[in-house]
Amino acid sequence: MLDLKVIREQTDQVRAWLKARHSTVDLDAILALDGQRRDILGQSEELKARRNEGSKAVAMAKKSGADAAALMEKMKELGEQVKELDDKLADVDTEIGRKLLEIPNKLHETVPLGADERENVEVRRWGEPKKFSFEPKAHWDIGELTGTIDSERGVKLAGSRFTVLSGLGARLERAMANYMLDLHCLKQGYTEYNVPLMVSTETMTGTGQLPKFAEDLYKIGGDDDVPLWLIPTAEVPLTNLHSGETLSEDDLPMYMTAYTPCFRREAGSYGKDVRGIMRLHQFDKVEMVKLCTPETSYDELEKLTADAESVLQGLGLPYRVIVLCSGDIGFGSAKTYDVEVWLPSQNCYREISSCSNCEDFQTRRMNCRYRPAGGGKLRYPHSLNGSGLAIGRAVLAVIENYQQEDGSVVIPDALVPYMGGVKVIPPVGK
């Protein structure tokens, strides 16, 4: 969340990066509210000063035996006026707070300017897409041949954008999660967490999902009608683990990871990626989150992205890394790399991980600070997050890239130990 002082003192700079983001936030309305707030404060302080002087006069009158009734009535009137101003100030503060929550994060200077995803910039590629001697099938067709993906029964159970994995398909998804967690925890230094799948409104607000993305979330009833929200990503509970806390610089950096189901609404029952397991309302993901000092956060972003890439490298899946332009970057991110895996059936790269540095955007919202090692003023750490990876998309990438002409799927060597030694998913009946 942006500091109101920054908006007041660096208005032109804020307008410039809001324009680069194609944001429709009304900065003038916020500045007008800020002006009201300062006017109310000035009036309130003047009245309180007069009330203090009057209180002294009442005390002196009583001490001298004079009649203080008129003075006391005047003090009562001043008190009522102060209360009225305090109530107005609370209302203005609430409205300012609401509007500040709508402002997207400031962009890092290295983010390329652009209107939309067509102007994202490729950074690097790894691996060569396989040349098949046959026409490669889509993962949903392979899933039908192998009896591992059943979209029809998913729809029967819950509607569009739900699916069922069974047999070696379900085992492959479980193997993928365990492979990722072992890589992150045993080789890359992350600590694994098991976190709630339902969180409070305050928690969702802390990482920026609320209020902006309420329509993309699943809201459910909680105790005493206090709502809970199904998490769209483990980023939400992991980052908020230290909300409202003051950390020591010695605690940083923190590396956290969790495997969770994730829940997101998708508009409509038809359209892009409605078939298969590319874009579902419920999906599994291994998430990586970091808290670190501002001075190290962009080095940590490069490491975070490399950690996500290492999953694909271990699986032998070709991919590319792009940096998102100003018109495509997420609401809470200062800079984002997308990792896109190659899908033979679509003859293109598709997103499988987003790795973002949110700087102090989230830590301000959730009031997480740290005490510098050398002492001095408390600071906000920077928060980073990235998928390591979206498991369903990793599964479909393996299915498509390792498919054989007869419809079978070869299991990558890195996953064989997690598959109990199974090396091939055969077609049904073979």
Residues paired with residue 349 on neighbouring β-strands, in sequence order: 342
Question: With contact defined as beta carbons under 8 Å apart, do 159 and 373 qualify?
Answer: no
Whether 217 and 295 map to the same domain: the answer is yes
Whether 189 and 265 map to the same domain: the answer is yes
Q: What is the mean pLDDT of residues 6-16?
A: 94
Catalytic one among 354, 356, 359, 364? 354
Q: What is the DSSP string of 216-262?
A: GSEEE--GGG--EEE-SSTHHHHHHTTTT-EEEGGG-SEEEEEEEEE
108 domain residue, yes or no: no
Whether 348 and 206 map to the same domain: the answer is yes
Whether 90 and 123 map to the same domain: the answer is no
Residue 264 annotated among the catalytic residues of the structure: yes
Whether 134 and 33 map to the same domain: the answer is no
Residue 357 is classified by DSSP as E
- Is 264 marked as binding a ligand? yes
pLDDT at 60: 82
Q: What is the DSSP string of 306-335?
A: HHHHHHHHHHT--EEEEE--TTTS-TT-SE
Phi, psi of 17 (to 5 degrees): -80, -20
- Is 269 marked as binding a ligand? no
For residue 320, name the pLDDT band (cuts at 50, 70, 90): very high
Whether 94 and 121 map to the same domain: the answer is no
Residue 364 annotated among the catalytic residues of the structure: no
Whether 139 and 287 map to the same domain: the answer is yes
CATH number at residue 165: 3.30.930.10
pLDDT tens readout for residues 365-391: 999 999 999 889 999 999 999 999 999
Catalytic one among 151, 326, 393, 400? 393
What range does the domain containing 172 cover? Answer: 115-423
For the chain, what percent of residues have pLDDT higher than 70? 99
Whether 419 and 324 map to the same domain: the answer is yes
Whether 234 and 149 map to the same domain: the answer is yes
Catalytic one among 351, 369, 371, 379? 351
pLDDT at 52: 83
For residue 430, name the pLDDT band (cuts at 50, 70, 90): confident
pLDDT tens readout for residues 390-428: 999 999 999 999 999 999 999 999 999 999 999 999 999
429 domain residue, yes or no: no
Residue 319 has pLDDT above 80, yes or no: yes
105 domain residue, yes or no: no
CATH number at residue 88: 1.10.287.40
Considering just the CA atoms, what is the radius of gyration of the chain in Å?
A: 28
Residue 354 annotated among the catalytic residues of the structure: yes
Catalytic one among 21, 161, 264, 365? 264
pLDDT at 267: 59
pLDDT tens readout for residues 122-164: 999 999 999 999 999 999 999 999 999 999 999 999 999 999 9
pLDDT tens readout for residues 250-297: 999 999 999 999 999 975 444 567 788 999 999 999 999 999 999 999
How many Å apart are CA 143 and CA 234, to the nearest integer?
27
- Is 356 marked as binding a ligand? no
pLDDT at 272: 60
How many Å apart are CA 192 and CA 353, to the nearest integer?
19
- Is 385 marked as binding a ligand? yes
For residue 178, how far is the Cα from the chain centroid? Answer: 23
pLDDT at 199: 97
- Is 287 marked as binding a ligand? yes
Q: What is the mean pLDDT of residues 32-49?
A: 93
Whether 32 and 157 map to the same domain: the answer is no
- Is 265 marked as binding a ligand? yes
pLDDT at 77: 86
Whether 85 and 120 map to the same domain: the answer is no
Whether 331 and 418 map to the same domain: the answer is yes
> Helix 27-64 and helix 11-20: axis angle, to 10°?
140
